[in-house]
Amino acid sequence: MSQINRLAHGGRIDRSKPLHFTFNGQAMRGYAGDTLASALIANGVRLVGRSFKYHRPRGIMAAGAEEANALVQLESGRRTLANQQATRIELYEGLSATSINCWPGPNFDLMAVNSWFHRLMPAGFYYKTFMWPAAAWKYYEHFIRRAAGLGVSPKLPDPDQYDQMNVHCDVLVVGGGAAGLAAALAAGRTGARVILADEQAELGGQLLGEQAEINGKPASHWLAAGESELAGLADVTVLKRTTVFGYYDHNFAGMLETRTAKLPNGGATTRQRLWHVRAKRVVIAAGALERPLIFSDNDRPGVMLAGAVRTYLNRYGVRAGSNAVVFTNNDDAYRTAIALKDAGVKGVCVIDTRLAPHGELPTQALQAGIAVIDNSTITGVTGKRRVQSVEVMTLNADASGVIGPARTFPCDLVATSGGWNPVIHLHSHAGGKATFDEARGLFIAADTLQASACIGAANGEFQLNDCLKDGFRAGRDAAAKAGFKKASRRKLPTAAVVDEAPARIIWALPTTKPIGQRGKHFLDLQHDVTVADVQLAAREGYRSVEHTKRYTTLGMATDQGKTGNIPGMAVLAQALGVANPGDVGTTTFRPPYTPVTLGAFAGRNVGPLADPVRMTPMHHWHELAGCKWEDVGQWKRPWYYPKDGESMADAVNRECLAARNAVALLDASTLGKIDIQGPDAAEFLNRIYTNAWSGLAIGRCRYGLMLKEDGMVFDDGVTTRLGENHFLMTTTTGNAAAVLGWLEEWLQTEWPELKVYCNSVTEAWATLTLCGPNARHLLAEFTDDMDLSADAFPFMSMQEGTVGDIPARVFRISFTGESSFEVNVPASYGLALWTQLFNAGEKYGLTPYGTEAMHVLRAEKGYIIVGQETDGTVIPQDLGMQWILSKKKDFLGRRSFARPDSARGDRKQLVGLLTGDPDMVLEEGAQIVAENRNNPPIPMIGHVTSSYYSANLGRSIALALVSSGRDRVGDTVYIPMPGKVISAEVTTPVFIDPQGERLHG
């Protein structure tokens, strides 16, 4: 294709640098400086996609972030990006893009059948259709996904790198147009640290698309001089291709910098960078977005924003049509008419809703021979895939309808302008309010919660001269408030002031029939929301703009209604009979202003860096032994150690049998360990734990239970008295940080008078747990300074000595019910001792065991796991642990036992379950019922908390929480599962060695 719409000269593109690209597989050419959109227009492409709901043909309608139609799939494979606005894609050599929302292609779309059924797809269609019956969603979902087809996400990992920056500055200027550049200059000259961020590849903003003059010369001269001055200021950072997408509390801003416009980038640099900026002052010079006029069939390809048409001419040297009608309610669009006429576009005329427009610009247009049809509106558009003509009629007295004969204007371009909306999105993100300017029909930033100001067009100043003045004043002001007060005597630049007459605001323009009965008046082009949809919502009782948005989906697409929201609100206000559109509420803008790739949020925190991995000192031994891993928080713990060809069940059974019949070794280093010291340590434990600690002898251990103030179990573990004022607390692996936080919180906030100090020592120690009848024999080979006999070293005591010549603390504590020795050595000796034990352990049948066997073994003894048998609603009495509740002192949570709910008789209690079929292993979480009958609902009386096959018992076992469970011991209960009902007998929760003979042996 040739660039049939490219002008011979003019614009900021570089005609000496041609670029090749493809669109929907077709080869095309453009120039350096083009966007994909400008290159497509240059190549005569009018149809770029289909609309979301009706699949109507759509063309490019804007030139920037407000584009609602021209969404493309950029590139393919690993780097593909969905839903990219063609207006924001810089053209590069080899670019490849395809249309979305259409299948098989934009010229022939099978889903366009939706538009024949448009009467069946009114506002709230999705809610009404899919609310009921719920089961129907399964059927509809497939249809919706196919029909919506909003681009394709990549199936493979993104090969590019992203990174992040955290910076502070004195003044952040958002937007590098006339006002923003002026502000950055003024602030930069004071010596303040300034960041100027602009979303485009070039500074200049709207100036790039205008034929404006500053100081009597083309504005580009001032832009170039300003940019070069900023480059010379050491504390000024200018970031192009950088969108400030979000503005948050305390002057915090998120910015997305695109570091390489070209894809793929060859790995030379990061693709995008996310900036976290904390600024002392923020100057929002984000400009303004033009809004369309809302008339019948205003979505046809060739209907574009007037400012965008002008930008394509002036900046990119392309004309968006060869035969144009300008349709406006204001003077600004006359600039477009004049520019089109100058570019040789035929038949240029202006349809103006106002009576006898008389401003400076209309006068110029008339003098240039452009026909002006006043007090009129477009009542219809012909041409589905491309505008062919418009029908124009005169407005009646109150603009509620049209009168007189219809005139037809052949054209392939309709440039419309309904006025400009200040971009107050960022101001709104950070809690700023807005007030409605009725005369101009736009929202102006009002009170802000931040140290910020909206300036220039973002503050409703549309005269270039005002933008310059505002910019210099705001930049100076922001720098001064940040502490930089250097005066500048430079003369400020000026621009000619153009006298512009007021606009005539008519939100929905009438046609020959009531709205909705002739063509469609589109408000939201991306989501296909029409004036009739909003009017219907109002009739159905919607009053708030926030509810109406969600019901009609107005402004809910990726463009967030940048062009349609304000006309939509005004239409709602009219439908509700509210005079001032500001009274139906402003919709709150939310970040991001434009979409941000997830890769930028992830930055370098991907793959192995996504989450830290905690490894015990013996990690590599486990790895070499071929263990399977279990993730416990960030810890990697050996789950089980399969030998050649063993199944998980085989391995776990073997490990469990070894632990009860020979000796087995567990890496328990991950258990939380908190060193507690101070003269009030025992008193502190008395308050934190449910049982008493003052009388615990030095060298003795005690199991403790911690509750929250509501009486619910929070954590458990064994704590040992190492000295008069010195304790070592152990916690569950997953709760270690939370327990330390809990101790610190009470010490600092409630009991500051207690002299107690807590320190995490989890990683200082390697913990090796020897378990089983041969444990003592094996350990005896490694120590000669500790008497390991049951009398000298009873259960729940601790000795310090040496193990394998390594200084060690040995605890006789057990989580398996077997005679156990928990050997703690300094972490760096852990692997050495572990290896030595295995070198000597074969004759005793030493077997490594993992967390799965540990879980089975403890369940055989009915030992709870916090977080498995408890879930934040379980009190100690439910677990049969009344024995651990001191009656002689207060402790956290005690008072809550007297709450009516804690004293309830039918609370769920911990019991054992033995299935009728000994090989049947119940599913953890399965619900339990008392009766086996086939007519639901059947009341549920509890659930299974732990369930395993026990090799030591030769059958399955389970623990469960069952309502009044202890009274049901001996009863049969039922566990309904898909296709079967399993029966089980309720038992006490201890399955092995209820007398504790093994434990103490």
Partner 1 sequence: MLLIPCPYCGEREETEFHHGGEAHIERPQDPDALSDAEWANYIFMRTNPKGLFHERWVHAAGCRRWFNMARNTATNAIIGTYKIGEKPPKGAR
Q: Which of residues 309-368 bind partner 1 (CB under 8 A)?
A: none
Of 749 and 935, which has the nearer Cβ to partner 1?
A: 749
Assess 897 for contact with partner 1 (CB under 8 A): no
Which are the contacts of 551, defined by CB distance < 8 A and separation ≥ 6?
123, 124, 127, 537, 542
User: Considering only CA atoms, which of 164, 178, 352, 134 is closest in space to residue 257?
Assistant: 164
| 392 neighbors 371 (Cβ within 8 angstroms) | no
Q: How far apart are CA 982 and CA 985, in angstroms?
A: 10
* Candidate residues 20, 217, 485, 899; the one interacting with partner 1 per rule CB under 8 A: 899
Q: How would you classify the pairing of strands 389-395 and 402-410?
A: antiparallel
The site string for partner 1 over 900-919 (x = CB under 8 A, - otherwise) reads: x-------------------
- CB 754 to partner 1: min, Å: 13
Between 384 and 894, CB nearer to partner 1: 894
Minimum distance from residue 247 beta carbon to partner 1 (Å): 11
Site for partner 1 in 497-556 (CB under 8 A): none
Q: What are the phi and psi torsion angles at 67 (to 5°)?
A: -60, 130
- Tell me the C-alpha distance between 910 and 240, whole Å: 64
Among 895, 923, 940, 954, binds partner 1 (CB under 8 A): 895
Please state the φ and ψ torsions of residue 231, each to the nearest 5 degrees: -65, -25
Piece in contact with partner 1 (CB under 8 A), picked from 69-77, 120-128, 741-749, 781-789: 741-749
Our finding on whether 755 is near partner 1 (CB under 8 A) is no
| Residue 763 binds partner 1 (CB under 8 A) | no
Q: Is 894 in the site for partner 1 (CB under 8 A)?
A: yes
- Site stretch for partner 1 (CB under 8 A), options 80-88, 285-293, 614-622, 748-756: 748-756
Closest to partner 1 by CB, 103 vs 252, is 252
Q: Are strands 162-174 and 194-197 parallel, antiparallel or unpaired?
A: parallel
Give the shortest CB-908-to-partner 1 separation in angstroms: 21
Instruction: Tell me how far, at minimum, the Cβ of 485 lies from partner 1, in Å.
Output: 23
How far is residue 241 from each of residues 88, 222, 237, 350, 579, measured CA to CA in Å?
10, 20, 13, 35, 41
Nearer to partner 1, 635 or 742 (CB): 742
By beta-carbon proximity to partner 1, the closer residue of 432 and 862 is 432
Per rule CB under 8 A, is residue 741 in the interface with partner 1? yes
**Rounded to the nearest whole angstrom, what is the least distance from the CB of residue 156 to partner 1 in the complex?**
31
Q: Does 898 bind partner 1 (CB under 8 A)?
A: yes
Nearest C-alpha neighbor of 349 from the set 334, 361, 364, 360: 334
Q: In 803-917, where does DSSP find H-type helix?
A: 830-841, 851-860, 900-903
Which residues lie across from 981 on neighbouring strands?
A: 976
Confirm or reject binding of residue 785 to partner 1 (CB under 8 A): no
Cβ nearer to partner 1, comparing 408 with 759: 759
| Cβ closest to partner 1, residue 217 vs residue 899 | 899
Q: Which is nearer to partner 1, 543 or 895 (CB)?
A: 895
Tokens of 323: 């035969």
| 78 interacts with partner 1 by CB under 8 A | no
In this complex, which beta carbon is closest to partner 1, that of residue 400 or of residue 749? 749
List of residues 6+ apart from 700 with CB closer than 8 A: 720, 721, 796, 797, 798
Helical (H) or strand (E) element with 182: helix 178-188
If binding is defined by CB under 8 A, does position 675 make contact with partner 1?
A: no
Stretch touching partner 1 by CB under 8 A, among 108-116, 153-161, 573-581, 890-898: 890-898
431 binds partner 1 (CB under 8 A): yes
DSSP string over 84-145? EEGGGPBP-TTEEEEE-S-SEETTEEGGGHHHHTGGGS-TTHHHHHHSSSGGGHHHHHHHHH
Applying CB under 8 A, does 890 fall inside the site for partner 1?
yes
Q: Under rule CB under 8 A, which residues in 687-726 are in contact with partner 1?
A: 709-710
Task: Pick the piece of the chain touching partner 1 (CB under 8 A) from 263-271, 381-389, 559-567, 887-895.
Answer: 887-895
The residue type of 393 is M
In 907-954, where do the E strands start and end?
908-915, 927-929, 940-950
Q: Closest approach of Cβ 709 to partner 1, in Å?
A: 5
Q: Is 744 in the site for partner 1 (CB under 8 A)?
A: yes
Among 148, 449, 497, 981, binds partner 1 (CB under 8 A): 449
CA-atom Rg of the chain in angstroms: 37
Q: Cβ of residue 669: shortest distance to partner 1, in angstroms?
A: 23
Q: Which two tokens mark 347?
A: 């038949």
Per CB under 8 A, 611 contacts partner 1: no
Closest CA to 179 of 160, 153, 198: 198
Nearer to partner 1 by Cβ, of 427 and 619: the residue is 427
Q: Least separation, in Å, of the C-beta of 585 and partner 1?
A: 17
Q: What is the x/- site pattern for partner 1, positions 837-876, by CB under 8 A?
A: ----------------------------------------
Binding mask 932-961 for partner 1 (x = CB under 8 A): ------------------------------
- Selected from 661, 802, 896, 927, the binder of partner 1 by CB under 8 A is 896
Angle between helices 306-316 and 333-342 (to 10 degrees): 40
By DSSP bridging, strand 846-848 and strand 663-667 are parallel
Rule CB under 8 A: which of 241-270 touch partner 1? 248-252
Helix axes 178-188, 219-231, angle to 10 degrees: 30
| CA distance linking residue 40 with residue 908, whole number of Å | 69
Stretch that binds partner 1, among 369-377, 528-536, 740-748, 834-842 (CB under 8 A): 740-748
The single residue listed with the structure tokens 């290159």 is 39
- Strand ranges in 657-712 using DSSP code E only, listed in sequence order: 663-667, 672-677, 701-707
Total interface residues for partner 1 by CB under 8 A = 24
What's the start-to-end Cα distance of the chain, in Å? 90
Pairwise CA distance, residues 892 & 890, whole Å: 7
* Segment contacting partner 1 by CB under 8 A, of 234-242, 622-630, 699-707, 897-905: 897-905
Stretch that binds partner 1, among 677-685, 713-721, 746-754, 913-921 (CB under 8 A): 746-754
Q: What is the DSSP letter of 318?
A: B
Q: Tell me the C-alpha distance between 630 and 158, whole Å.
A: 28
For residue 900, what are its two tokens?
């009516």
CB count, 10 Å around CB of 139? 9
User: Is the alpha carbon torsion for 564, 568, 571, 573 positive or negative?
Assistant: negative
φ, ψ at 997 (rounded to 5°): -70, -40
Counting contacts by CB under 8 A, is residue 93 touching partner 1? no
Altogether, the residues listed in the chain come to a count of: 1001
Contact between 750 and partner 1 by CB under 8 A: the answer reads: yes
> Binder to partner 1 among 342, 745, 805, 923 (CB under 8 A)?
745
Q: How far is the CB of 671 from partner 1 (least distance, A)?
A: 21
- Binding region for partner 1 (CB under 8 A) out of 263-271, 617-625, 749-757, 964-972: 749-757
CB of 677 to partner 1, least distance (A): 16
- Minimum CB distance to partner 1 smaller for 276 or for 1000: 276
Cross-strand partners of 959 = 912, 946
Question: What token pair was written down for 947?
Answer: 């369930």
Rounded to whole angstroms, the Cα distance separating 153 from 100 reads: 12
Q: Is 752 in the site for partner 1 (CB under 8 A)?
A: yes
How does 158-191 read in b/e, with b if 16+ C-beta sit within 10 Å? Answer: bebbbbbeeeebbbbbbbbbbbbbbbbbbbbbbb
Nearer to partner 1, 126 or 252 (CB): 252
State the residues that interact with partner 1 by CB under 8 A: 248-252, 278, 431, 449, 709-710, 741, 744-745, 748-750, 752, 890, 894-896, 898-900
